[in-house]
Amino acid sequence: MTLTGRTALITGAAGAIGSAAARLLSQAGARLVLADMVRDPTEDLSRELGGLAVQADLSDPGAVSGMAASVLDQVGRIDILVNNAGALNNAKIATTTLEEWHRVQSINVDAAFLLSQAFLPGMRAARWGRVINLSSYAAKSGGLTAGTAYSVSKAAMIGLTFSIAREVAGEGVTANAIAPAYVMSPMVSEQLTDAQRQTQLAAIPVGRFCEPEEVAHAVMFLASPLAGFITGEVIDMNGGMHFD
């Protein structure tokens, strides 16, 4: 499971899932690039784990491309890309504005596309790489757990995963997605009311929310050499809410 000599970039690194994944990847020996729009928590995590902290507004395509170019100048190549950053929106179709639609898509999908586009050439040249995209149960449930823009963006992440996986399968690079439902993070603790949390908790067959560390272990496995024969897969982590 060692990742010594590999460099991993994690977006949304200061969040619950991002920081948990960063710790596991660091323990496995990976060098870290921690990307987030919030400066202080990202730099605190960088001081704790080592590696490079970078700040970028993922809703701005120019900022994403600039950040990618700067990272490549500093570290040479990204071997593991974890597209984890995301913006939640609970508005359904009738109340979703076009402005909010574009904001959610830009953060949740466009940034992942631009970063994959920037870092895949290095992976292909090295004939080793991992693209790990964070999707959501919302993509498979028609927005049961989120709004229209968010659900569509996470469905698009699955399509992006499949497209990358198909294109680079013969070049030592894998692309996979993880689709969690209700991870205990600020998205759940702060953006849902207590009544909403209790309603959703009652609908989860295992009777609890997912922990960030559980998602991080899935990230770690997909990044590991032992997952080299797995590509184009979506790992569901929803406590029994959905089977396929």
Nearest to 234 by CA among 92, 143, 123, 138: 138
Give the number of other Cβ atoms within 10 Å of residue 120's Cβ: 20
**Looking at 137, 150, 182, 209, which residue is catalytic?**
150
What sections of 50-147 are H helices per DSSP? 61-75, 98-105, 111-126
Structure tokens at 56: 């970028």
DSSP conformational letter for 209: P
Check if 150 is active-site.
yes
Structure tokens at 90: 């609970």
CA–CA–CA angle 24, 81, 25 (5° rounding):
10
DSSP E strands in the chain: the ranges are 7-11, 31-36, 52-55, 80-83, 129-134, 173-180, 234-237
- Three-state DSSP class for residue 70: helix
Structure tokens at 79: 């071997």
- Three-state DSSP class for residue 33: strand
Q: In what order do the strands lie in the sheet containing 80-83?
A: 52-55, 31-36, 7-11, 80-83, 129-134, 173-180, 234-237
Residues with catalytic function: 150
